Amino acid sequence: MAGRRVNVNVGVLGHIDSGKTALARALSTTASTAAFDKQPQSRERGITLDLGFSCFCVPLPPRLQVTLVDCPGHASLIRTIIGGAQIIDLMMLVIDVTKGMQTQSAECLVIGQIACRKLIVVLNKTDLLPEGKRQAAIDRMAKKMQRTLENTKFRGAPVIPVAAKPGGPDAPETEAPQGIPELIKLLVSQISIPTRDPSGPFLMSVDHCFSIKGQGTVMTGTILSGSVSLGDSVEIPALKVVRKVKSMQMFHTPVSSAVQGDRLGICVTQFDPKLLERGLVCAPESLHTVHAALISVEKIPYFRGPLQTKAKFHITVGHETVMGRVMFFSPAPDSLDREPVLDSFDFSREYLFQEQYLCPAPAEADEAEATEKAGQASAGRCPRQQWALVEFEKPVTCPRLCLVIGSRLDADIHANTCRLAFHGVLLHGLGDRDYAESALPALRVYKLKQKHGVVERVLDDHSVIGRSLFKKETNIQLFVGLRVHLSTGELGVIDSAFGQSGKFKVHIPGGLSPESKKILTSALKKRGRAGRGEAAKPEEAERLEPAQPVGLSLSFKRYVFDAHKRMVQSP
Ligand SMILES: Nc1nc2c(ncn2[C@@H]2O[C@H](COP(=O)(O)OP(=O)(O)OP(=O)(O)O)[C@@H](O)[C@H]2O)c(=O)[nH]1
Ligand SMILES: [Mg+2]
């Protein structure tokens, strides 16, 4: 790769109007087709609508080509921002120094924590600060940003002041940007040349597609994995078409091959560019299209409100965003602290269904209160990994183990709240349309069912009558053979229904203990004659209630996807 430029992708993210495009322009020496808001709609609306690519070179060995990925800032374009964040090696978070952190700055920071390894903060528009107080204001904002980064993985990241377009839109082009050489120096010092891995299946994220008369259709994008050479066949999975690579260019320079991390244009023939505004191109058959997926999931702490099972979210899978319904589940109680596994899903294990994603209970909540409340787990009971089954409204094509982000993009963009709800890794895709029948029965997620009743009376040393555990209309036959526990410690087995009012007979293999017999036979006088101290009639005597209630508890599992709804009791 002597003399070959190593390409590094740097994202330019931040709240709308913080000056991202102005900064990209101030830094770049070469612009790609769609850089600097060239599209007419961008011009019309005066905002960036799509990813813009431009670059500059740093003549250091190996010659570094820094590709800037200029992302939109507008809240409604967050899908594009998430797509952009997945192809970058380092993120520049652009902050308007006169405004500080704004809503989308916070969302970009969240996306950065999920998708990027490195970040620097660029305080832009310093020319707007009054001359005399400028440095003090910059120092104050830099300190504020450090505090914001304090409890993120970017703690201690560098903060640098610039003015990408001093004087603003009306300033003459001659007005030189400020702080750019220092920013380039900082970028070069922060960029660790990522190890590019040419192995693995070829996968490219395409961000623009256009035709060139006499040549064919050019798809520009960034290689996410593997490599590509002239003459290779590539698949557009969303359209299920395969084409040969006719020619390739990197920033207007013809090349014969490219590897992960490179940004390039691939030219193919007989392909209508309108069919693929943005999406994926890959080695044939290397991606899968899934109708549902099992993901490892982590809640984003800034998202307010619970992550409710059965709720719908916008699910960004790789570079596509579709609506999906989620069902959360956690490890079975005996494996709460298992090491998280992020490269596969273990179907051999059992999992506990959750009404909500489990968050640590507040420190002051006591154990009972914490386990009581849905969606909360006391400190010692918070699992190290949780999962979700995501059922997509329409199938998505994505790489294995790709990033997944769940968000509430329909939330009010002026409500200054983080719309990003959770993130995770797609561990297992369900490609069958009828996955509910073909795949889900193998997913052993269970609900723990608990029923409580009382012993009404003793029949003999090995059997009692229970009540208030089933409803009158319950078919008790279904429960025959299940184990119940007496509050006095004995183990019982449901033997049969007893009468028509939901009562049932319990067989106690080990027999009642003497204490239990005492409790159960030291009966309360029944109302009526016996209640008035008169001798109860014999048939009334056996209906006497124990003085102190003896509880009967029945617990069993029901597997959520077991069509027969069997009740299972662990051995
Ligand atoms: N005074 C001053 N104005 C700036 C500076 N940088 C950008 N601007 C102005 O701020 C406005 C927004 O600049 P853009 O670069 O389009 O901001 P952006 O972050 O790309 O906007 P979106 O892409 O729509 O989110 C424009 O009018 C710029 O001229 C700066 O350093 N100083
Ligand atoms: Mg812009």
Determine the pLDDT at residue 86.
84
Determine the pLDDT at residue 215.
85
Least distant ligand from the CA of 36: 2
Our CA dihedral for 240, 314, 443, 450, rounded to 10 degrees, sits at -160
DSSP state of 17: T
The C-alpha atoms of residue 221 and residue 202 are separated, in whole angstroms, by: 13
Q: Whose CA is nearest to atom 3 of ligand 1?
A: 168
Q: How far is CA 210 from the centre of its chain?
A: 33
Mutate which of 13, 17, 413 for ligand 1 pocket (most atoms within 8 A of beta carbon): 17
Residue-wise pLDDT tens digits, 228-262: 999 999 999 888 899 999 999 987 789 999 998 89
CA of 493 to the centre of ligand 2 (A): 70
Give CA separation, 503 vs 176, 212, 468, 471, 496, in Å: 88, 81, 7, 9, 9
Residue burial 42-77, b: 16+ Cβ < 10 Å; e: rest:
beeeebbbbbbbbbbebeeeeebbbbbbbbbbbbeb
Count CB-CB contacts under 10 A for residue 175: 14
- Contact of 71 with 104, CB cutoff 8 Å: no
The reply to whether ligand 1 has any atom less than 6 angstroms from the CB of 166 is: yes
The reply to whether ligand 1 has any atom less than 6 angstroms from the CB of 21 is: yes
The reply to whether ligand 1 has any atom less than 6 angstroms from the CB of 50 is: no
Count CB-CB contacts under 10 A for residue 88: 25
Using the atom order of ligand 1, give the atom closest to the CA of residue 74. Answer: 25
Least distant ligand from the CA of 20: 1
Instruction: State the amino acid at position 405 in one-letter form.
Output: I
Least distant ligand from the CA of 72: 1
- Contact of 479 with 494, CB cutoff 8 Å: yes
The C-alpha atoms of residue 486 and residue 549 are separated, in whole angstroms, by: 10
DSSP β-bridge partners for residue 437: none
The C-alpha atoms of residue 237 and residue 287 are separated, in whole angstroms, by: 7
Determine the pLDDT at residue 266.
94
CA of 52 to the centre of ligand 2 (A): 8
Q: Whose CA is nearest to atom 2 of ligand 1?
A: 168
The reply to whether ligand 1 has any atom less than 6 angstroms from the CB of 165 is: yes
Tokens 């690579």 sit on residue? 245
Determine the pLDDT at residue 59.
76
Q: Whose CA is nearest to atom 32 of ligand 1?
A: 125
**Spans in the chain with pLDDT lower than 70:** 1-4, 33-34, 61-62, 363-374, 523-547
CA of 23 to the centre of ligand 1 (A): 8
Instruction: State the amino acid at position 468 in one-letter form.
Output: S
Instruction: Show the 3-state SS of 376-420.
Output: EECHHHCCCCEEEEEEEEEEEEECCCCEEEEECCCCCCCCCCCCE
Residue-wise pLDDT tens digits, 516-561: 888 887 765 444 444 455 554 555 444 566 667 899 999 999 999 9
Tell me what ipTM this predicted complex has.
0.99
The C-alpha atoms of residue 24 and residue 183 are separated, in whole angstroms, by: 12
Least distant ligand from the CA of 95: 1
Mutate which of 12, 21, 95, 180 for ligand 1 pocket (most atoms within 8 A of beta carbon): 21
Determine the pLDDT at residue 530.
47
- Domains present along the chain, CATH in parentheses: 5-190 (3.40.50.300), 203-282 (2.40.30.10), 288-359+383-443 (2.40.30.10), 447-522+547-568 (2.40.10)
Instruction: State the amino acid at position 365 in one-letter form.
Output: A
